[in-house]
Chain A
């Protein structure tokens, strides 16, 4: 049987074949372990923290025993920008044929540049006229470690030339002994970080756009609920401007405000840690 298996693999059977095969399996396993360990530090990985077991450092640290405390790692590096709507869903429609789904792409592109200038790596949930599902958009952020999520919208109402930041309202955290965060309540453990980040961005926006609120707003925005990272929605008013140029003039200001807000938020952000069975915490 072993001889036939060797033929199938195109190798000649010898007494050492099993040793070579075992060695190869061990080497492959070690490589896999090394890749898995390194993956969280890479961008664009395919791990899904919301489905895995991620908690913000603040709550995870409280579970650590004194002997197993790992130093918290700061380092917000990735910003997932979500231009809302797209595809057949044009969002708000206004004067001069303005559609939210097109216009918001311009805002996202300018914000990407401003963020990259601050040293962030930026991932867009869409770059063309497609419409990923709410969960797909959240998954782009949930697949990263040390990321934040910003969904960008343009309303059809509101005082023209203003911008508002929204965070999810308070929600009870899932009481789960496994430490896993349910997908549909992924935002709950990150609410305090979201509020902090949103407050900083709103301050920057109100400096640049007169009439914008000084404090952030609360609304159950669908994209935010399933995001396992600090997450905010930025809404600009509005597509009902008299001419498109009014909206275009807001683009650099919005991009700069978001970039500066995140630059201020970055030193306070702690990369989430993963609790492992037995109570210890893996940094």
Chain B
């Protein structure tokens, strides 16, 4: 082989190495992305199919406090400030903060709600009573115990209290039905006071206006709860 060809061959090989070096980081990113996609659970895929609270591009970025578990203090909640585009509509706003709460903190050990649970529906009645309907996983995947169930409910209540002042009381339903307990311990037949100061002075027996469109099972649960409160 003549020296001229050797120089040409060397030049081509060098160019190939430079091109490969430039392409390698992009290739690595693509591989990592593909890995993430294969690790996605069926539940995450299901959650993506559920209607997500729409986020308008015009929604202002707001600093909100999310209440997740504290790693340092057993059985305590810790407020974590997160910046989110939040709607001004209280129902959408509540859905946005609860979906963020369900998505969980960066540190998965501080999670208070099961990762595969989903918020199916959320309503606010004219008297300030909110109804949050969660998927069955909130009951089946939560660690069993009074402490863990109490933390789950407290995290929902305190996150709503801090971010959606229109919610005065909360009724939790599971899969559209009224449940006796969350997972065998914490009583879900009652209403949870969200903004306790405001809720104290408000009567619960205001009927819903005729135009309020609640699905039949939700309406039934709310009526039952109202009757119980009247007693």
A residues in contact (CB < 8 Å) with B: 84-85, 89, 91-93, 100, 134, 153-159, 162, 164, 166, 174, 182, 184-185, 211, 213, 217, 219-222, 225, 233, 235, 237-238
Report if B54 contacts A (CB, 8 A).
no
- Number of chain B residues close to chain A: CB under 8 A: 20
- Which residues of chain A have C-beta atoms less than 8 A from B190's C-beta? 220, 225
- Which residues of chain A have C-beta atoms less than 8 A from B146's C-beta? 153, 155, 164, 166, 219, 221, 233, 235
> Complex: how many Å from CA A178 to CA B150?
34
Which residue of the partner chain B has the closest CB to A213?
B75
Interface centre among B144, B180, B187 (most CB of A within 10 A): B144
B residues in contact (CB < 8 Å) with A: 74-75, 143-150, 180-181, 184-187, 189-190, 228, 231
Are the CB atoms of B145 and A219 closer together than 8 Å? Answer: no
Q: How far is the CB of A221 from chain B (nearest CB, A)?
A: 6
> Complex: how many Å from CA A242 to CA B41?
29
Interface centre among A89, A185, A222 (most CB of B within 10 A): A222
> Complex: how many Å from CA A217 to CA B144?
17
Q: How far is the CB of B39 from chain A (nearest CB, A)?
A: 25
Knowing A158-B74, A174-B231, A184-B228 touch, does A221 contact B147 (C-beta < 8 A)? no
Are the CB atoms of B187 and A221 closer together than 8 Å? Answer: yes
The contact sample of 6 A-B pairs, CB cut-off 8 A, is A155-B143, A158-B74, A182-B231, A219-B146, A221-B146, A225-B187
> Complex: how many Å from CA A156 to CA B189?
23
Are the CB atoms of A156 and B144 closer together than 8 Å? Answer: yes
- Which residues of chain B have C-beta atoms less than 8 A from A233's C-beta? 146
- Which residues of chain B have C-beta atoms less than 8 A from A235's C-beta? 145-147
Which residue of the partner chain A has the closest CB to B181?
A222
Contact residue among A157, A159, A220 (Cβ-Cβ distance under 8 Å from B187)? A220
